[in-house]
Homo-oligomer: A and B are copies of this chain.
Amino acid sequence: MLAIDWGLSTFRAWRLADDGAVLGQIAAARGIRSVAPGGFAAALSDLLAAWPDAASEPALLCGMVGSRQGWAEAPYTACPAEAADIAANLHPVADRPGTFLVPGLCYRNEGTADVMRGEETQILGLLGALGAGRHTVCLPGTHSKWAELDGLTITGFRTAMTGEMFGLIRTHSTLASLMPDDPGGDAWGEAYRAAFDAGLDRAGAPGGLLNHLFGIRAAALTGDLTRAALAPFLSGLLIGHEIVALAPPAGTVHLVGAPGLVARYARALERRGLLVRCHGEETAAHGLAAIGRAHGLIGRAA
């Protein structure tokens, strides 16, 4: 079968054997934003041109391709959920036979709703590496996801708008003009880490995020922070606030994501006394295999 993670800005496809083994892989910077409505079947054929004999293989797609802006909207499945619940709610598309969209998850808790779309598949792909018992998984990003697992079940999750707020403040706020352009290669050097740590530590102080954000402006005006320190301090402050407020349980946090961002979160979590285990971003293929297996698209694992 074809296992595909199709997000807003990237496309990744894996060709899986019946036992889930990866036979080949394609990646492209062609997210769903680049596809016109009604054009998804043709765009998929085009993206898979390197595998001409795969045209009639069943395909499982996760990510924003299953949202209102995507191929079709796959309604959210209720959380708690495991692979079988997600497999039971796959959403077939009309214009490519044997092609299914993975639904996102909706978690209702204490009168509020949270949603994810794509991350549920990455989390399912991690399960084999974690084993039985309860686990905490964090997928940092534009919208960071914190999920609680119990055995094979995603029991609940919460999202923090951390990455998006960093981008907004970095680009559009009254702090933006005080910050130099991204120093690029120097981003994760010693000076960066020192300012990042100072921001992390500030997050634990009274006053709240809205007060601490103005504090960056005041520190720039008084010279307490150098211009180069402002962006890393802001990054540490926001990630620190995320972690303090979401208060993950003591023990190990499993981090899944891009290496640079995972390194920041690992540093922040370890500074608060938590243990960290980092995983690569390629867990989506495993998750799609698990869902495909539960749906009978492929056989049992080898």
Contact = CB atoms under 8 A, between A and B. Distances in A.
Contacts of A143: 214, 217
Interface residues of A, number: 45
Interface string A208-236: 11110111011101101000000000000
12 contacts: A112-B202, A112-B218, A112-B219, A115-B218, A115-B222, A143-B214, A143-B217, A159-B214, A161-B217, A168-B172, A210-B242, A211-B245
Interface of A: 76, 106, 110, 112-115, 143, 158-162, 164-165, 168-169, 171-174, 202, 205-211, 213-215, 217-219, 221-222, 224, 238, 241-242, 244-247
A209 B245 contact: yes
Contact of A168 (B168, B218, B242): B168
* Max count, chain B CB within 10 A of own CB: residue among A143, A218, A221: A218
A211 B164 contact: no
A218 B159 contact: yes
A138 to B, nearest CB: 13
Copies of the protein in its oligomer: 2
Given A206-B245, A209-B245, A245-B210, A215 B112 contact: yes
Given A160-B210, A210-B209, A218 B113 contact: yes
